[in-house]
Structure 1
Amino acid sequence: MKKILLPLTLIAAPITTIQAQQQIEVAQIWNGTFRTNQLNALNTLHTKNQYSVLDYNRNTKTFTIDAFDFTTLEKVQTLFSTADFPEIKEISDYSINKTDDKILIATNSNPIYRHSFTSVYYLFDIASKSLIKISENAIQEPLLNKNGSKIAYAFENNLYVFDVATKKTTQITKDGKKNAIINGITDWVYEEEFAFVRAFDWNADGTKLAYIKFDESDVPVFSMDIYGEDLYPQQQVFKYPKAGENNSKVSLHLYDVSKVSTQDVALNAETAYYIPRIKFTNNANVLSVQTQNRHQNQLNLLFVDANSGKTSTILTEKDKAYVDVTDNLTFLNDNSFIWTSEKDGYNHIYHYNNDGSLKKQVTTGNWEVTNYYGYNKSNETIYYQSVENGSTKRDVYSIQLNGSSKKQLSAQSGTNSATFSPDFKYFINNHSSSTKAPSYSLVDASTGKNVKEILNNTALENNLKKFDLPKKEFTTFKNEVGNDLNGYMIKPKNFDAKKKYPVLLYQYSGPGSQEVSDSWNDSNDYWHMMLSQKGYIIVCVDGRGTGFKGADFKKVTQKELGKFEVEDQIFVAKELAKESFVDANRIGIWGWSYGGFMSSNALFQGNDVFKTAIAVAPVTSWRFYDSVYTERFMTTPQENASGYDNNSPITHADKLKGNFLLIHGTADDNVHVQNAMLLINKLVYLNKNFDWLIYPDKNHGIYGGKTREQLYTKMTDYILEKL
């Protein structure tokens, strides 16, 4: 489950505003008024000290992939332009191979689920400027082998290999079938919860292709009506494993290109219930495989001999709650590897020998590593991002592989993220804070000194001056058990401590998430500031279960999602009600997805403090949500029935006293509209008065055309009328 952003409608309300302020309008939040400049599709090259960017010229209507020098920031060349190849009208995605001489270009893309899509793909040879269409079909996830001679891709649940020289295509699996067998592409729940789509990988010399097969024959089917505009609706039918139900049976296979044969790899079915990652090591004959048991509290790293298929367990991690899967595994020349783990209570970097024995815990401390950027073998230095300066901030660091000589490389307080040059001499730092719009600068990776600014958003900052926006006031709330909860408050610019103001709480609250961060505004922030212009105070608090404050804080909600998180939001609301400037009779709460689950529960269980709640696309019972996410935190309903039911909004619907607006899209493949319908049924049965809004054919994001503007307008009107 991932968080989604939101806004609402306006009707007249007798709340004083500052005449000098230009009022934010809902339409402006979605029409680009507050859009930031950014480096689009920024990628570093592999063999040259350059980075590439996708650019679009609105005047000529051409897309270009341009390469820039990391040292001078000057454009070196245009690698590709649609002006030279009229068959490509737009570029939706691109990737450059590891030898920097070929580009895979995607066009005519059509989304499937959150990450997956099909596209028509072309292979462009930079030196010869030749363009090859890989397939007449819209395919998925093409991947070049290292020397660029072959491309593996998926089409209609089967895998194919395209030979670049001969333009011959070989079909390597033939049993692919919709809602039954998938080769090399993840099923719905893997894509959503393990966050990857391509389930195949080339070895180092391009002679073998490893892939995962998903047999979803026994997975229950979920169907959604798609209303469209035709006389009869259609149905979208797909396999969706809910908590406690059958998941896909996964298996691992190795395809030998020269032999044109496939070898099955035997894995322990219990400990390899999930295969969330595969990746070839630097040794062409060694494949790394990560497996998890169904409870996801044990993760094994296996090495597979690509010739014999023999497996050996290199590393095992266990946790009383769950072990997170990441993409931080990095193999060094000797096949020793870098790994991140929470095993000491905080997420840190570790260096292991190729036999799985620990060489060194590289980073330590009561803080979390939040991103791993890479390893520079020439000076044995690791580069990473962490929250060492506070869990709401992000900074970039370097450290020696042996754990010495740690250095902070980012200078500005706030949120910093890095894109390193291939030789690790420079990085592009993307900085923002709650008061500073995003800017991109070139930084010397050895000293941390700024070399040159690349891009800023000064024009946006100047444009925002007319709105005289309020600032987030960061604070902490100490809950009843002594935890310091990160929070912020947005007050009206004409705030008068002698007056009383209505308060709207916003939160997401899901495991490991974060809403309170010192970073630039998103669409919700502008909507909240719009409400502050109308006299509302906005408060956001990350309660127990959220991330970046250590494993104990994050995992305290295990087996009881919605218990401690709801307690914290109700506690904060009651603390706010004691403030002299807060109207204790006008406190509301809202959220989307997990946040909608929370706002529903908070209104029902906190009916003595909350007057109004808005729940967008909420889970109303974890029994209805997918297996991988839910069981990670709750185990199965068969094992933990009380955990599922005691914290369900449906269970507490009889406590509704205030104003409740429930919103959902009928084509939500993630949190099914079934969640809303069952809560609606319960509230109707209880003869409760509430409001609801259904968006036909809209998915979990509820967007498209004017949809978001209409949605946020509706929410605005509801807040102004009901809070």
Structure 2
Amino acid sequence: MKPFLFFVFPMIAATTAVTAQDNLNDQRIASDPAMLNLDRIFADHEFKERSLGEYRWSKRTASYLTLEVPQREGQGQDLVRNDAATGKKEILVPAAGFQPKGEAEPLKVEAFELSTDESKLLIYTHSQRVWRRNTRGDYWVLEMGKPGSLRKLGGDAEPSTLMFAKFSPDGTRVAYVRANNIYVQELTGMKITAVTADGSPTLINGTSDWVNEEELHIRDAFRWSPDGSSILFWQFDTSGVRQFHLINNTDESYPKITSFPYPKVGEPNSATRVGVVSATGGEVRWLEVPGDPREHYIPHAEWSPDGKRVLVQQLNRLQNINRVMLAEASTGTVRTVLTETDEAWLENDNPVRWMAGGEKFLWLSERDGWRHAYLADTNGKSLDRITTGDFDVIQIEAVDEANGWLYFSASPENPTQHYLYRQRLSGGKPERLSPASQPGWHSYEFSPDAQWAMHTHSHFTQPPVVALIQVSDHKVVRALEDNQKLREKLAALKQPAAELLKLDIGDGVLLDAWGLKPPAMDPSLKHPLLIHVYGEPASQTVRDKWPGERGTWHWMLAQQGYIVASIENRGTPVPRGRAWRKSAFRQIGILAAQDQAAGVRALLKRWPDADPARVGVWGWSGGGSMSLNAIFRYPDLYSTAIAVAPNANQLLYDTIYQERYMGLPKDNAENYRLGSPITHASQLQGNLLLIHGTGDDNGHYQGTEQLMNELIKHNKYFTAVPYPNRSHAISEGDNTVRHFHGTITRYLHQHLPVTPATAAKEP
């Protein structure tokens, strides 16, 4: 497929010369095993790291379950129990056990879950994507140890229409969502009961609308009560929320339109409420949460261990007040037990974690300037701090209440890294468990009893190693994936010189950064500098962690002669304290652009081999917006920008994300204007490539079209490559990911060339 290019005016001779040079380079690189190329990375996936794959910890024994390709002949995968201590394997379900009667092949098991007593297995397959994730599909139940007992749930429901199926606590029933209603199916006679019946295109039960899924991560929006008698669920009323329309021009002869409620900043939200209903259906008891349901969010709700109460969190629309309420399940009455406030915003980082049998719960707060763990009681009278000190608890990893331990991730000395710590729930000094001999990034998946964990470790230039550890002393029990083949491939490459560094931009501000330089640099030559940016409060780019295939693409550019770098500006979610993170409040796109420009100038001073006349920037989503702000607002510094799926006008983005950081448009109109790249489009002087999926439900192609109009109005030339019907990820369809990276690479060769003489000239 040939991409559509908008307003491209390079001189023909120059373009032809660059294309010919690209072809020669591709041929040379393809024949050299020490050199990377696009096909090796994105078509053949030679450098894709391996992970452990789908697995589940047992809740009854010290073991975990995996899906494994049989050593014997046959199709499908075995379900295998792995003893944590000994490594002994036991096949619980052979691959043939996943084959329905009358079918030629076993089911492709995408996910699975065991009942509490582990007598039954719930199987998820034939999944379909719902916005970000594949959350709609088919579910089957298998009785363990009973060949031929495989049964499909849903009755005569259309294929791939069930969502979030889960066993009742006693394992006799399964509840799921279909067509915006909640159903319970008995496993003896397979009888199906509609628990809710009012679901419609505008009334959603048990799952969520677009914006609550995207920004508050509410997808599975119902919970069995501990005794299985009732179901707690969210309901979203989207009536009154304006519809956004995506147009698919390629699948059929006539355009196909997908419409969905999408509240842009300042617009009405869905009305959200939480209720309790009998598992056999009937009248819903709505929790009496106060306030306008369209002006508040409910990010979390959970049953108490005794099933008599529900802990509910309610954020106001500005997301600077979080009221934690305890509701009586039998009456719906509520009382506030904790109120968290912030002058800027509050993050949604407190899933319900019960302690002391339901009389207390864990809480994360930045109220002292650092994110720390607290223990709150349900009577609202005490909030006791567990962790202390000038460092951030990045996240709670596990709680071992029986032995008195809190496990959490932190990195007090280096915000680009990630380590496991533990501390007594009663207080005391934190103890680092991640080995001092392994700097970099550590992540953990704990067993339910917090005695074992799957440990993944990598750093900036080394792919991950996965091992099973004994948590108490971090002893490696066995290696599970060492990515040795990938390591050997990387070792055979001409590797770029990699560096993690700090940049002084004045006023006592130090910015973290990473850099990749060509493997063999000629000191007499200057090299183009390409900055990879994100820069908003939702993500961190400077991490001492293996960067995956896209990071390998950065390696490829360095091999070709580029210096590639990334800078972490203020306002990003790094563990450097509340003041660092909240400094971006009400000035998204403003402070970050200033920090990025200051960081680039610091890099140019630090690296005399970087050419100040050839500085480029590229980014995706918020990074696309930041790339636009960079080249528009600092035309003397950046000569080339590539903006992927940008948000050119902050007024076009959704309520929950944009209002969290910027406030309401009527209260912060000037900074909404100044932070939006479209405001500064008239200042473009360099080369600009816009890339956007026309089916992007998140950051809409609409904004890029509005930006195009503004650039045209000011006679500013640019290149635009729309990817038909692709989402925000621009990954759907044959060859899309390879083509996408090829598009960017060719544009860099033309407009940010390693050899300036090959640059295409604009008229």
Which band: TM-score by shorter chain? over 0.9
Task: Return the alpha-carbon distance in structure 2 between the equivalents of residues 143 and 84 of structure 1.
Answer: 19
8 Å Cα contact 2:56/2:64 also seen in 1: yes
Alignment partner of 1:98 is 2:116 = yes
Q: Please, which moves more after superposition, 149-158 or 75-84?
A: 75-84
Matched residue SS, 1:393: coil
8 Å Cα contact 1:216/1:249 also seen in 2: yes
Superposed CA offset, 1:31-71 (max 9, x none): 32011121112321111111122335697440333221111
8 Å Cα contact 1:502/1:536 also seen in 2: yes
**Which residue number corresponds to residue 747 of structure 2?**
718
Task: Return the alpha-carbon distance in structure 1 between the equivalents of residues 53 and 717 of structure 2.
Answer: 47
Matches within 5 A, 1:499-518: 499-518=525-544
Matched residue SS, 1:62: coil
Task: Return the alpha-carbon distance in structure 2 between the equivalents of residues 445 and 125 of structure 1.
Answer: 33
- Give the aligned residue type for 1:606: Y
Superposed CA offset, 1:404-431 (max 9, x none): 3532221121111112233332222111
Alignment partner of 1:394 is 2:438 = no
**Which residue number corresponds to residue 608 of structure 2?**
580
- Give the aligned residue type for 1:213: Q
Q: Deviation of residue 215 (structure 1)?
A: 0.6
Superposed CA offset, 1:558-602 (max 9, x none): 111100110111112223333421111000000000000000110
Do the aligned partners of residues 76 and 328 (structure 1) sit closer, same or farther apart at CA in structure 2, a change above 3 Å counting? farther
**Which residue number corresponds to residue 9 of structure 2?**
none
**Which residue number corresponds to residue 552 of structure 1?**
579
Q: Please, which moves more after superposition, 696-705 or 474-483?
A: 474-483
Do the aligned partners of residues 682 and 207 (structure 1) sit closer, same or farther apart at CA in structure 2, a change above 3 Å counting? same
Q: Deviation of residue 250 (structure 1)?
A: 1.0
Matched residue SS, 1:437: strand
8 Å Cα contact 1:334/1:354 also seen in 2: no
- Give the aligned residue type for 2:525: K
Do the aligned partners of residues 281 and 505 (structure 1) sit closer, same or farther apart at CA in structure 2, a change above 3 Å counting? same
**Which residue number corresponds to residue 4 of structure 1?**
none
Alignment partner of 1:146 is 2:169 = yes
**Which residue number corresponds to residue 285 of structure 1?**
308
Matched residue SS, 1:698: coil
- Give the aligned residue type for 1:718: Y
8 Å Cα contact 2:184/2:280 also seen in 1: no
- Give the aligned residue type for 1:706: N
Task: Return the alpha-carbon distance in structure 2 between the equivalents of residues 719 and 299 of structure 1.
Answer: 46
Alignment partner of 1:211 is 2:233 = yes
Do the aligned partners of residues 253 and 328 (structure 1) sit closer, same or farther apart at CA in structure 2, a change above 3 Å counting? closer
Q: Deviation of residue 26 (structure 1)?
A: 0.8
Do the aligned partners of residues 60 and 367 (structure 1) sit closer, same or farther apart at CA in structure 2, a change above 3 Å counting? farther
Q: TM-score, normalised by structure 1?
A: 0.95
Q: Deviation of residue 396 (structure 1)?
A: 1.2
Do the aligned partners of residues 166 and 715 (structure 1) sit closer, same or farther apart at CA in structure 2, a change above 3 Å counting? same
Alignment partner of 1:22 is 2:34 = yes
Matches within 5 A, 1:539-688: 539-547=565-573, 548-578=575-605, 579-688=607-716
Aligned CA-pair RMSD: 2.2
**Which residue number corresponds to residue 365 of structure 2?**
341
Task: Return the alpha-carbon distance in structure 2 between the equivalents of residues 510 and 21 of structure 1.
Answer: 38
- Give the aligned residue type for 1:609: L
8 Å Cα contact 2:416/2:542 also seen in 1: yes
Matched residue SS, 1:570: helix
Superposed CA offset, 1:463-508 (max 9, x none): 2222122242000112233221110110001024443111000011
Matches within 5 A, 1:235-250: 235-250=257-272
Task: Return the alpha-carbon distance in structure 2 between the equivalents of residues 380 and 529 of structure 1.
Answer: 45
Q: Deviation of residue 164 (structure 1)?
A: 2.0
Task: Return the alpha-carbon distance in structure 1 between the equivalents of residues 238 and 49 of structure 2.
Answer: 42
**Which residue number corresponds to residue 358 of structure 1?**
382
**Which residue number corresponds to residue 143 of structure 2?**
125
Matches within 5 A, 1:5-44: 12=21, 22-30=34-42, 31-44=44-57
Alignment partner of 1:177 is 2:200 = yes
Q: Deviation of residue 647 (structure 1)?
A: 1.6
Alignment partner of 1:62 is 2:76 = yes
Do the aligned partners of residues 625 and 284 (structure 1) sit closer, same or farther apart at CA in structure 2, a change above 3 Å counting? same
Task: Return the alpha-carbon distance in structure 2 between the equivalents of residues 586 and 253 of structure 1.
Answer: 58
Do the aligned partners of residues 584 and 316 (structure 1) sit closer, same or farther apart at CA in structure 2, a change above 3 Å counting? same
Task: Return the alpha-carbon distance in structure 1 between the equivalents of residues 114 and 281 of structure 2.
Answer: 28
8 Å Cα contact 2:92/2:145 also seen in 1: no
**Which residue number corresponds to residue 377 of structure 1?**
401
Task: Return the alpha-carbon distance in structure 1 between the equivalents of residues 727 and 663 of structure 2.
Answer: 27
Task: Return the alpha-carbon distance in structure 2 between the equivalents of residues 323 and 155 of structure 1.
Answer: 33
Do the aligned partners of residues 385 and 577 (structure 1) sit closer, same or farther apart at CA in structure 2, a change above 3 Å counting? closer
Superposed CA offset, 1:292-316 (max 9, x none): 1100000111111111111111111
Q: TM-score, normalised by structure 2?
A: 0.90
8 Å Cα contact 1:159/1:173 also seen in 2: yes
Task: Return the alpha-carbon distance in structure 2 between the equivalents of residues 368 and 10 of structure 1.
Answer: 50
Task: Return the alpha-carbon distance in structure 1 between the equivalents of residues 204 and 399 of structure 2.
Answer: 35
Task: Return the alpha-carbon distance in structure 1 between the equivalents of residues 70 and 650 of structure 2.
Answer: 46
Superposed CA offset, 1:229-267 (max 9, x none): 321111001100000001001122110236743212221
Q: Please, which moves more after superposition, 74-83 or 147-156?
A: 74-83
Matches within 5 A, 1:470-485: 470-485=496-511
Do the aligned partners of residues 231 and 155 (structure 1) sit closer, same or farther apart at CA in structure 2, a change above 3 Å counting? same
Q: Deviation of residue 82 (structure 1)?
A: 5.1
**Which residue number corresponds to residue 760 of structure 2?**
none
Identity level (%): 31
Alignment partner of 1:453 is 2:471 = no
Task: Return the alpha-carbon distance in structure 2 between the equivalents of residues 348 and 55 of structure 1.
Answer: 40
Do the aligned partners of residues 101 and 322 (structure 1) sit closer, same or farther apart at CA in structure 2, a change above 3 Å counting? farther
**Which residue number corresponds to residue 78 of structure 1?**
92
Task: Return the alpha-carbon distance in structure 2 between the equivalents of residues 97 and 478 of structure 1.
Answer: 55
Matched residue SS, 1:528: helix
Task: Return the alpha-carbon distance in structure 1 between the equivalents of residues 675 and 283 of structure 2.
Answer: 51
- Give the aligned residue type for 2:749: L
Q: Please, which moves more after superposition, 169-178 or 649-658?
A: 169-178
8 Å Cα contact 1:274/1:291 also seen in 2: yes
- Give the aligned residue type for 1:597: S
8 Å Cα contact 2:464/2:483 also seen in 1: yes
Task: Return the alpha-carbon distance in structure 2 between the equivalents of residues 380 and 608 of structure 1.
Answer: 58
**Which residue number corresponds to residue 5 of structure 1?**
none
- Give the aligned residue type for 1:392: T
Task: Return the alpha-carbon distance in structure 1 between the equivalents of residues 93 and 19 of structure 2.
Answer: 48
Matches within 5 A, 1:291-370: 291-335=314-358, 336-358=360-382, 360-370=384-394
Task: Return the alpha-carbon distance in structure 1 between the equivalents of residues 578 and 200 of structure 2.
Answer: 41
> Bigger relative contact order, structure 1 or 2, given CA contacts below 8 A and separation 6+?
1
8 Å Cα contact 2:195/2:281 also seen in 1: no
Q: Which structure 2 segments of 5+ residues have no match?
A: 1-17, 753-763
Matched residue SS, 1:650: helix
Superposed CA offset, 1:5-38 (max 9, x none): xxxx986269999998722111222232011121
- Give the aligned residue type for 1:473: E
Task: Return the alpha-carbon distance in structure 1 between the equivalents of residues 598 and 577 of structure 2.
Answer: 22
Q: Please, which moves more after superposition, 700-709 or 443-452?
A: 443-452
- Give the aligned residue type for 2:382: L
**Which residue number corresponds to residue 252 of structure 1?**
274
Q: Please, which moves more after superposition, 94-103 or 489-498?
A: 94-103
8 Å Cα contact 1:270/1:293 also seen in 2: no
Matches within 5 A, 1:411-426: 411=435, 412-426=438-452
Matched residue SS, 2:712: helix
Alignment partner of 1:229 is 2:251 = yes
Task: Return the alpha-carbon distance in structure 2 between the equivalents of residues 10 and 64 of structure 1.
Answer: 50
Matched residue SS, 2:646: coil
Do the aligned partners of residues 12 and 47 (structure 1) sit closer, same or farther apart at CA in structure 2, a change above 3 Å counting? same
